Chain A
Amino acid sequence: MSTLTLNLSKPGDVSRKLALNLQKAERFKVRLAWDGQTDLDLHAIVCLNRGDGAKASSLEDILSTYNVRRRVGSGEVGTLEKAADGSFAVHGGALVHSPDATDGDALDVDEWIDIDPSKLAVPPGAVIEIPLVALIHQQTTVRRFRDVAGAWVSIENVAGTELLRIQLSSQFGEFIGVQMGSVMIDASGTHFAAVGVGFNGDFNSVLEHFS
């Protein structure tokens, strides 16, 4: 038997106009700036949270200058390939890091990370968490953010709205690292969640926490 169908239009109904969703897919830009010869770094870790805490399981998940392939002593370390311009990326360009800046000589922003959540696939029932961290490189002579002039970090969305700005030198002066927050991606969408936690530890202590 064929399915019964009815024409649901009524006299006077106005035909629908064509319309497109004008909203752009969410993206984030993290910026780090400072002055002087100190070496500060931005790091991001692509973690998965299935209910037991956000964890990274592979070096492919770690966007860090410490994870760029390089020669140290007689051996080679790191997994990420550097592009011709010095930038590096994880997850097929979902997260792209600027070339590593070893001083704060740039006029404005010294390091940045671009995050395109649309390039990350969320497993069912899980949340992708991308904690964002700014750290003083451990081999520099400067030991705390208060010793770094004009250090700040900001996070901006695709519309150019600044979601967070932290003055590292003044607001987290006694620390060597700050977790600014995390980009959260789940079935309901994407958002940035501010954290604002200062800590005294190196990047491996951060990795220990998230692995």
Chain B
Amino acid sequence: MPPGPAAPAAPAETGVPPPAPTRLPSALPAQAVPAAPLRSPRVTALPPEAPAVPSTASGPAVPRQLAGTARHGMRLSVEQVVQRFPALATAQAEQVARLLQGTVAETFTRRDAADWGVPAQRRYGELVEQALQLAQQPAVQTAQAELRRLHAVLAEVSQAIEQQLQPGLLARWRAADPWQLLQRHRTEIDQLRAALGQAVPLLAAQAEALAGVRRDLQALSADIEAHGLAATLLGERIAAPGQGDMHQLLLGRATDLAQTHAHVAGTDPLRAHAGEQLADLAGAIRQAVLLLLPAWLEKALHARHVAPTPTLARRLQQELDTLLHSLRPT
């Protein structure tokens, strides 16, 4: 479309930077007058020939416009969106209205229709990839393997205590001495404790990153839904049935986006579960490995020197079982 009749001339292609205008003192007082109280923004749709006047009691000020060609988005209110989609929340209706208000019907092409909402879908793919990478980080696998090994070692000790507490001389004779067994595993237990302790900040950071991706996906889900509903309205308003394949194209986009939205919403519980698992893993390490285990080891290793009574041995075994319950592999 050619520019408006009063449009300024095209720029001269001289390669010389534009000349600076004459310098005059600014008419604005330098903070002499306190700033006016601020209030919520209003988005004003303007008539093309708005007069350049300051505000009056009758309405808000309208801006001075450059000479040129005015293009406006579709005029569709939030109320009209809600009327079309009654079950829609206000915030979502506002998002749909904003999308349409930013769409200029006269320049909307078949290509625009085909690309409608595609960037949001592409972004969805990127975020899902990020979530997958986070879930497959070696830190998680390593921590889980170390936790499983620690559980196995301590379970062996618990079993040995249990056997020693069995009635009958034969049973006790066959059982390995649990305290010697613990001493044999001591180096490995200490190494596992140290490694798991170092993994905690990594796991916490990973849980935080996963939560961030989930939040981004939830926001994106709303955006995808809004694009889908806007595609329906676009199909109805600027490409009525019978007007070529634009209508079909937009309805196809609406369906596609609705499916993507349903998929994002449907997989959110999986991501929530992955986040919870990560938080549980970090929590188990903090509580059981870094807090309960050292305390239990101190008592158990002391017992090794004093030949514990069955009562003390039973208590140590019960404490160890509680600890093992917290450490159970996921």
Q: A residues bordering B, Cβ < 8 Å?
A: 23, 25-26, 46-62, 66-67, 72, 77-79, 91-92, 117-129, 131, 133, 138-139, 157, 161-167, 170-177, 179, 181-182, 184-211
B64 touches A53 (CB 8 A): yes
A190–B11 alpha-carbon span in the complex (Å): 33
Instruction: Flag if A193 contacts B31 (CB, 8 Å).
Output: no
Pairs A-B, 7 closest by C-beta atoms: A201-B8, A199-B68, A182-B63, A205-B8, A58-B26, A202-B11, A189-B39
Given the known interface contacts A51-B53, A193-B46, A204-B19, the answer about A124 and B2 at a Cβ–Cβ threshold of 8 Å is no
A-B contacts, 5 listed (Cβ < 8 Å): A26-B41, A57-B27, A119-B31, A121-B31, A174-B2
Min CB–CB distance B59 → chain A (angstroms): 10
B18 within 8 A of A: yes
A56 to B53: give the CA distance in the assembly, Å. Answer: 15
Number of interface residues of B (CB under 8 A): 66
Give A198 to B70 CA distance when docked, in angstroms. Answer: 6
**CA gap between A23 and B53 in the complex, in Å:** 29
Tell me whether B102 and A48 are in contact (CB under 8 A).
no
Contacts of A206 in B (CB 8 A): 66
Q: Which residues of the other chain, B, contact A187 by a CB distance below 8 angstroms?
A: 36, 55
A119 partner residues in chain B, CB cutoff 8 A = 31, 35
CB-based contact B107/A171 at 8 Å = yes
Given the known inter-chain contacts A131-B64, A187-B36, A193-B63, please indicate yes or no for A204 contacting B21, CB distance below 8 A: yes
Residue among A127, A193, A199, A204 making CB contact with B44, cutoff 8 Å? A193
A166 contacts which chain B residues (CB < 8 A)? 102
Residues of the A chain whose Cβ atoms lie less than 8 Å from the Cβ of B12: 138, 202
- Residues from chain A with a CB closer than 8 A to the CB of B35 are 117-122, 185
Out of B13, B24, B70, name the residue touching A196 (CB < 8 Å): B70
* B169 contacts the other chain (CB 8 A): no
Q: Which residues of B contact A23 (CB under 8 A)?
A: 38-40
B167 within 8 A of A: no
**Cβ contact within 8 Å between A193 and B60:** yes
Taking A46-B28, A200-B10 as contacts, is the C-beta distance between A127 and B43 under 8 angstroms? no
Confirm or deny: B34 has a beta carbon within 8 angstroms of a beta carbon on chain A.
yes
Residues 1-21 of B, flagged 1 when their CB comes within 8 A of A and 0 if not, give 111100111111101011111
Are B61 and A197 neighbours in the complex by a CB distance under 8 Å?
Answer: no
Q: Check B38 against A209 for contact (C-beta < 8 Å).
A: no
Q: B4, B55, B109: which contacts A188 (Cβ < 8 A)?
A: B55
Q: Is the interface of B mostly helix, strand, loop or mixed?
A: loop
Q: Which of B64, B65, B71 contacts A172 (CB 8 A)?
A: B71
**B55 contacts which chain A residues (CB < 8 A)?**
127, 184, 186-188
Q: Is the CB of B45 within 8 A of A194?
A: yes
Q: Which of A58, A91, A186 contacts B24 (CB 8 A)?
A: A58
Extra 14 A-B pairs, beta carbons < 8 Å, given A188-B55, A193-B46: A26-B38, A58-B24, A121-B35, A123-B29, A125-B54, A127-B61, A129-B63, A176-B11, A189-B40, A194-B72, A199-B8, A202-B18, A203-B18, A204-B18
Q: Hey, which chain A residues are within 8 Å of B41, CB to CB? A: 26, 157, 161, 163, 190-192
Contacts of B20 in A (CB 8 A): 59, 66-67, 77-79
Chain B residues near A92: list those with CB within 8 A: 30-31
In whole angstroms, how far apart are the Cα atoms of A157 and B98 in the complex? 14
Which residue from chain B places its CB closest to the CB of A90 in the assembled complex?
B26
What is the minimal beta-carbon distance from A159 to any residue of chain B, in angstroms?
A: 8
CB distance from B123 to the nearest CB of A (A): 11
Evaluate contact between A121 and B69: CB separation under 8 angstroms: no
Q: Which of B15, B28, B65 touches A179 (beta carbons < 8 Å)?
A: B65
Are A190 and B39 in touch, CB under 8 angstroms?
yes
Within 8 Å CB of B63, what residues of A?
Answer: 54, 129, 131, 181-182, 184, 193, 195
Which of B17, B23, B30, B69 sits near A79, CB closer than 8 Å?
B23
Which residues on B sit within 8 Å (CB–CB) of A58?
23-27
A162 contact set on B, CB distance < 8 A:
98, 102
Q: Are B61 and A48 in contact (CB under 8 A)?
A: no
Q: Are B72 and A196 in contact (CB under 8 A)?
A: yes
Nearest Cβ on chain A to B24's Cβ, whole angstroms: 4
Q: Mark B41-58, 1 if CB is under 8 A from A, else 0.
A: 111111000001111000
**A165 with B102: CB separation less than 8 A:** yes
- Bound state CA distance, A185 and B33, in angstroms? 13
B192: interface (CB < 8 Å): no
> Are A126 and B46 closer than 8 Å at their CB atoms?
no
Write the nearest CB–CB distance from B9 to chain A, whole angstroms: 6
Set of chain B residues within 8 Å of A49, measured between Cβ atoms:
52-54, 61, 64
A207 touches B21 (CB 8 A): yes
Structural contact, B17 and A190, CB atoms closer than 8 A: no
Q: A138 with B11: in contact, given A66-B17, A197-B70, A209-B66 (CB under 8 Å)? A: yes
